[in-house]
Amino acid sequence: MADGQRFSVTFLTIDEVSGILRRYMVTGESAAGSYLRIEDLIVTRRPGISFMVTALNDLIRNNEYPGSPVDPEQ
Burial class (CB in 10 A: 0-12, 13-18, 19+), 3: exposed
Instruction: Report the C-alpha gap between 30 and 25 in whole angstroms.
Output: 8
pTM of the shown model: 0.74
Residue 20 CA: distances (Å) to CA of 16, 34, 54 = 6, 11, 24
In a domain, 68, yes or no: no
Structural domains in the chain (count): 1
In a domain, 27, yes or no: yes
Q: What H or E segment, with its residue span, contains residue 55?
A: helix 49-61
> If pLDDT is split at 50, 70 and 90, which confidence band does 71 have?
very low
- Tens of pLDDT, residue by residue over 12-69, are 999 999 999 999 999 999 999 999 999 889 999 999 999 999 998 998 888 887 665 5
Q: Which domain holds residue 40?
A: 10-61
